[in-house]
Amino acid sequence: MFYYFDPLYLYLVLPALLLALFAQFKVQSTFNRYSQVYSGSRMTGAQAARAILDRNGLYDVRIEHVSGKLSDHYDPRTNVVRLSDSVYNNTSIAAIGVAAHETGHALQYAEGYSPIKLRAALIPITNIGSQLAIPLVLFGFLLDLLGLVYVGIILYSTMALFQLVTLPVEFNASSRALKILDTEGILYNDELDGAKKVLSAAALTYVAALIVSLAQLLRLIALFGRRRND
C-alpha cells in the first residue's frame, strides 16, 4: 500500500511522472509536426544515416529497418543502426534528424567516447536493479527487514546513475548529429532548426526519466529513514 498512497509518492514522485508524460507528449507532437516538413535534399533517414557513416569511415556499420514508431536505436553488439517505419524511408527533417542522432551513437563507440562506455558497463547492473530493487524494498518493509530495504535502495540507485550517465551520451549524440547535418549539407538553415527542435524534445524525455528516478530514490531513502527511526 505504501507504494501507491503515501504522501511522498503524491508530492514527490507524481509530479515527476507528470513531467515524464509531458515529455512523451512533447516528443510525439514535435516529431509528428516535422514529419510533415520534407528536406530539400530529399534524402531518406536511411540514406542520411548511410551517408554520415560512410563519410566517417564506418562502412561496417549496417542499417536495418525495424517496425514501430520512434523505436530507432544503435545496437553496439551487432554494430547496426536500426531505423523505424517513421524514419527509414521518410524524407522529412524529423526522420533525418533522428537517423543522424542514432549514427551519433555509432560514432561515439567508434571513438571510444567515455560516457557511452560507462553506460554500457552499467547495463548489466541496471538490469538486475530494475528487476529486484522494488521487490526487495517491499518485502523489506513488509517483513520489517531493513537490510533488504537498504539493498533494494542501493540497487535502485544504479538505475538513477544509469539515467544520469545517459544524459551526456544523448546530448552529445544530438550535438554530433546537428553538426554533421550542417557541415555535410544534408539539412539547411530552417531545416536544421526543425531537426534541433525534434532532438531537443527527445532529450527532454531523458531529463524526465532522470528526475523520476531521483524522485523515487529520494522517496525510498526517506521511507527507510522514517522506518529506521521508528
What's the pTM value of the predicted model, to 2 decimals?
A: 0.89
Element containing residue 83 per DSSP (H, E): strand 80-83
pLDDT in tens, 106-161: 999 999 999 999 999 999 999 999 999 999 999 988 888 989 999 999 999 999 99
> Is 170 in the active site?
no
pLDDT in tens, 15-47: 999 999 999 999 999 999 999 999 999 999 999
Mean pLDDT of 39-56: 95
DSSP string, 124-161: HHHHHHHHHHHHHHHHHHHTT-HHHHHHHHHHHHHHHH
> Of 64, 102, 111, 170, which one is the catalytic site residue?
102
